Structure 1
């Protein structure tokens, strides 16, 4: 499903790029054509004005007047040789009245957009007027259209990706919850039978040592079942001493770790109350410690450092193992990602879910160096 989601993202991105490139090409050609047509219209307008100045024919004068008055879209400014503004057309008359700088500002902008047309007004004295023109509203709308379309396409793709991501996340959550609940249910039946057999074994004093060891294993299975049963439901957070909780879990792992592995808990606080779910929090710490043990391959050092801050508590779990490449800092928390031959790639994903969704904290790779070690950080907010 994850690969399928990535595939959909690629398809959507490709379609978006194709739409944008095609639109930009089409609009660029269209805007060039409109710009050329507007230049021709201005040239015709200038020629019509020339005709009005020199023609004695009523027919020519009427035609020229029609051409001059029919220009209602292209903004024009007429100046003399000294640059003094003589007249303007198709500009905002209200702004011309209210703002004395409006016409000079428009003239400055027109000079940057197009070269002027020169019109002779007095051949004897060689007097000329200059006609500056700007882009019409239609041309500007056409030019800005690709950017509007880009925004619309981006919003559309964003909404689609968000919907796909939400659907994918919801499906994953359903799988997680279903798997966890079913595992807890399946473990319940043999656990009940084992507890019954333990009661029978207790009747014989000769089985005292055997019963004690089996009871530990049964309690361990009950704890695992309890953890799985809590997935999918909002856990009850309790105020407990987090230093004691971590030391207890570290002692449990220490007894089962290779002799060449040293586990040490560092904390300036002998007691540090925090709100957390003990079974689920133990699961996270246990998972991180087991991953550290796997990374060290039987020898090395694991340091658990607890620090108290004004608004949060941090727990750093540092090992001297193989390390993680920076490109995999986020990938290690993805379901299915594992560097182990027998791993399912679910442990860190579940741990992150427990800390971030149930405890409103953070779990991330603080630092890592290949063949030197990795430090995971748990951040719990007070």
Structure 2
């Protein structure tokens, strides 16, 4: 699937490059052709003006008037050899209202036209030498041809982005279905041995000598049932209920503490509050806290401290899970929530990925690494909206 996605992406990139490259070259060719044609038109326009000023022949004057009136697209400004505009009407195809309103308008246009084209020089007299300059700019058609590759590039880029998003979304949807199917099948497979274990526990309870063992085994069987229930709910929309967050955290810390080395110290700080209610799915939320606590334990070599801080803010409930373990390197912080990423010798690297999905997709909250320093520990933060 990944290889197929990469092939699609490579093919799209080559197609886009080919389209854009071809468009740029062809548009550049058209722009040069139009620019050469427009320069010829300006030359004809200038020569007709010169002819009109030096002849009294009515037919010649009429012809030059027709030629000059036909230019309705190319902006032109006539100046003397010092770039001073010859007269108040010695410009063509420019906004006369802007010329009247802004005294620098023609001057700015001359500077703009200088960057676009060389002016056409017309000799007025030889002795003394005197000539006029005719500056001209790009017509709207030429501007459109020059901007066309940019517009097409934007369109192609949008097409590629939309296609990649569609392919990526489809791949993620397929992956989600696979994981959900695996989780439900795991829950189904656990069901039969769990039922059998429950029967054996009940039989052990009948013998007074095994009562203590039976009670502890019953707790572990209940735990397995909870795990099976969690797997069975993956892929379906969980129901959120109002729960006491402090109580849920305390229960999970107590469960992990019983299975942790004696030299690991656990603390919970809720700032003297005994009840902070939030909308959660208790089994899935427990799973997240359990994963964070287990990761904290794995980060320590059998000794250290784990603290959980619960803050009741105006709009959010903040839960910080901190440890004094080995910490996370800067290059790994961005990867800790990616499926399959793990620094452990055992495990699939799915715990933090699933935890993040549970908090952010199901509970509309946030889960992120608040702080981590190699050799000093890590703090994960959960933000639940009230």
1:156 paired residue number: 159
Deviation larger for 203-212 or 178-187? 203-212
Residue aligned with 1:270, SS: coil
1:329 paired residue number: 333
Tell me the C-alpha RMSD between the 2 structures: 3.0
8 Å CA contact 1:53, 1:121 repeated in 2: no
Residue 171 (structure 1) aligned with residue 135 (structure 2): no
Return the offset for 1:215.
0.8
2:38 paired residue number: 38
1:200 paired residue number: 203
8 Å CA contact 1:96, 1:103 repeated in 2: no
* 1:96-127: CA deviation from partner (whole Å, max 9, x where unpaired): 36973389635632442234334355778987
1:251 paired residue number: 254
2:287 paired residue number: 283
Query: For residues 306 and 152 of structure 2, what CA distance do their matches in structure 1 show?
Result: 55
Query: For residues 3 and 267 of structure 1, what CA distance do their matches in structure 2 show?
Result: 49
Classify 1:298/1:25 alpha carbon distance in 2 versus 1 (closer, same or farther; 3 Å): farther
Residue aligned with 1:333, SS: coil
8 Å CA contact 2:299, 2:326 repeated in 1: yes
8 Å CA contact 1:284, 1:354 repeated in 2: yes
Query: Any residues of structure 2 matched to 1:1-382 within 5 Å, and which?
Result: 1-2=1-2, 4-5=4-5, 8-9=8-9, 11-13=11-13, 15-54=15-54, 67-79=67-79, 82-83=84-85, 84-91=87-94, 96=96, 100-101=100-101, 105=105, 108-114=108-114, 115-120=118-123, 129-271=132-274, 272-382=276-386
Return the offset for 1:367.
1.6
Query: For residues 106 and 227 of structure 1, what CA distance do their matches in structure 2 show?
Result: 75
Deviation larger for 247-256 or 198-207? 198-207
8 Å CA contact 2:180, 2:235 repeated in 1: yes
Gaps of 5+ in 2: none
Query: For residues 294 and 15 of structure 2, what CA distance do their matches in structure 1 show?
Result: 45
Query: For residues 247 and 294 of structure 1, what CA distance do their matches in structure 2 show?
Result: 20
Gaps of 5+ in 1: none
Return the offset for 1:10.
5.1
* 1:121-150: CA deviation from partner (whole Å, max 9, x where unpaired): 577898755422110111100111122112
8 Å CA contact 1:77, 1:85 repeated in 2: no
Query: For residues 324 and 182 of structure 1, what CA distance do their matches in structure 2 show?
Result: 34
Return the offset for 1:263.
2.1
8 Å CA contact 2:184, 2:231 repeated in 1: yes
Residue aligned with 1:85, SS: coil
Classify 1:17/1:299 alpha carbon distance in 2 versus 1 (closer, same or farther; 3 Å): farther
Q: TM-score, normalised by structure 1?
A: 0.87
8 Å CA contact 1:180, 1:228 repeated in 2: yes
Q: TM-score, normalised by structure 2?
A: 0.86
